[in-house]
Amino acid sequence: MQPAKSQPAGSGPRAKRPPAGAAVLREDVTEAIRDAVFAELAEVGYGRMSIERVARRAGVGKTAVYRRWGSKLEMVIDMVSAVAVDITALPDTGSLRSDIETVLTLAAHALRHPLAAHIVPDLLAEAARTPAIATILHTALRDNQHGIGTLLVDRATRRGELPAGTDPDFLVDLMIGPLYWRLAVARAPLSADYVTRLADAAATALATRTAD
């Protein structure tokens, strides 16, 4: 019986090497692809956009795109989610009205993105024609909005500003509906005090409705 041979240091099933090559996704490449997606959506729309066009505009190969997203639908949904308001970044301002103004300020910034006025209506039109897009877009956007509404209503309920059982989706409709209409549909400019006045109106309307 011969003695077992010793394995070289660093070899064997337990040895692990840091990821390299395809396992590493360069952030600068990812950002270049994201920029290309936004530009393509604004220029040709979702229907005509393709992985090939995105890769060519970003200056990368198609493989680089497919390493990050499996389809153009996944890619676009990721873009939409990236510009949505991050509920983890919403500070507790101490009042419902101020919380609403914070959300409106962030949403206005996102909708004022140079390409948002072109991209959002196009995606909604595409969703009306394609059930799969409608389902995914609804989940990506509405779930985020519901989370925002729930967070603000829960805070206001704990402060005694709103009664338990207040509908968070109604709050979102009051906040985001007018803002979206003005920026994405009418494409009208916002006055300096528009967000402040809209926050006042939304807070007052919700308080009045829950008091009835």
Q: Where in the chain is the domain with CATH 1.10.10.60?
A: 22-73
pLDDT at residue 173 in the model = 94
pLDDT at residue 104 in the model = 95
The CATH class of 22-73 is mainly alpha
pLDDT at residue 134 in the model = 87
| CB of 140 closer than 8 Å to CB of 77 | yes
* 3 state DSSP class of 24: coil
* Amino acid making up residue 56: R
103/154 Cα distance (integer angstroms)? 15
Neighbours of 169 (CB within 10 A): 13
Tokens of 208: 């009045």
Helices (H), 84-193: 96-111, 116-129, 131-159, 168-180
pLDDT at residue 130 in the model = 86
- What CATH number matches the domain at 84-211, 3.30.70.1140, 3.40.470.10, 1.10.357.10, 2.40.10.480? 1.10.357.10
pLDDT in tens for each of the 212 residues of the chain?
454 454 444 444 444 444 444 447 899 999 999 999 989 988 898 889 999 999 999 999 999 999 999 998 888 878 777 766 777 778 999 999 999 999 999 989 888 876 676 777 888 888 898 888 888 778 777 888 899 999 999 999 999 999 999 999 999 999 999 998 998 888 888 998 999 999 999 999 998 876 65
Q: Where in the chain is the domain with CATH 1.10.357.10?
A: 84-211
Residues in the chain: 212
pLDDT at residue 140 in the model = 75
Cα distances (angstroms) measured from residue 185 to each of 141, 190, 204 = 17, 13, 25
- Residue-wise pLDDT tens digits, 117-153: 677 788 888 889 888 888 877 877 788 889 999 999 9
- Nearest by Cα to 152 from 82, 85, 81, 103: 103
pLDDT at residue 186 in the model = 86
